[in-house]
Structures are given as structure tokens and as C-alpha cells.
Structure 1
Amino acid sequence: MISGTVVGQVWSTRRIDGIPAGAFLEVEVDGSGSRLVAFDVLGSGVGEHVLVTQGSVAASWFTGTPPPVDALIIGSIDPTG
């Protein structure tokens, strides 16, 4: 798992069939400054600290045929924790 902060939204005018409802967000990985695009079904926003999973685990979370999603936001990290 990766922890990071949502730094922006990724906008597209078209998307392939099979991508479920949700948003693509840009996440800056804690401690490295690198960024990745993660699919979000939780409704996360810019500035929110999140947990991200990658690879087959991310795609297998969805029911039916797995969509082509390589990174998935799976949780929001409480800033008071």
C-alpha cells in the first residue's frame, strides 16, 4: 500500500467502456514526491491524505470483468490519527 496526498484531478473527454463510475486523481506519494494517477470511488478531494493499492489487487476489487485500473484509492487517512 502507498500513502499519499491528492494533488489534482485528471480530466478526460472520453473513457473506454468498462470503467466504472468514479474519478481519476493525481496522488503525490509520501516521502518520494513522485506522482501517480489513481482511480477513486470514495469521493476523495484535493488535499486529502489517502491509501492507494496497485496492480491486480486494485483491478480485482471490482465485480465482473476487472477494468484496466492499476491504482485504486482504498481509504482516507484521518489527519488526527
Structure 2
Amino acid sequence: MIRGTVVGQVWSTRRIDGIPAGAFLEVEVDGSGSRLVAFDVLGSGVGEHVLVTQGSVAASWFTGTPPPVDALIIGSIDASG
């Protein structure tokens, strides 16, 4: 699991069939400064701290034929301790 901060939205004018409702967000990985694009179904916004899962775990969350999504925001971090 990856901990990061949403730094922006990824806009697209077209999508392939099979990608469910949600948004693609740019997430900066805490501690490394690297960034990735993750699919979000929670409604996360810029500045939010989130948990991201990748690979087959992300794809298997979807029902039916999994869409070509390999990074999924699975949680919002309310506070760090």
C-alpha cells in the first residue's frame, strides 16, 4: 500500500468502455516525491492524504471484467499520528 497526497486531477476527453464512474487523480507518494495516476471512486480532492493500492489488488476490486486500472485510491487518511 502507498501513502500519498492528491496533487491534481488528470483530465481526459475520452475513455474506453468498461471504466466505471470515477476520476483519475495525480498522487505524490509520501517520502519519495514520485508521482502516479490513481483511479478514485471516493471523491478525493487536491490536498487530501490517501492510501493507494496497485496491481492485481487494485484491478480485482472491480466487479466483472476488470478495467485497465492498476492504481486505486482505497482510503482517505483523516489525521496522522
* TM-score, length basis structure 2: 0.97
What is the alpha-carbon distance in structure 2 between the residues aligned to residue 37 and residue 4 of structure 1? Answer: 11
SS of the residue 2:6 aligns to: strand
**TM-superposition CA deviations, 1:37-63 (whole Å, max 9, x none):** 000000000000000000010010000
Q: Which residue of 1 aligns with 2:50?
A: 50
Provide, for residues 7-32 of structure 1, a one-character-per-residue CA deviation record: whole Å limited to 9, x for no partner: 00000000000000000000000000
Note the C-alpha offset of 1:80. 5.4
Q: Which runs of 5+ in 2 are unaligned?
A: none
Unaligned segments of structure 1, at least 5 residues:
none
Structure 1's consecutive aligned runs of 4 or more residues displaced over 3 angstroms after TM superposition are: none
The CA RMSD over aligned residues, in Å, is 0.8
Say which SS state the counterpart of residue 8 (structure 2) adopts.
Answer: strand
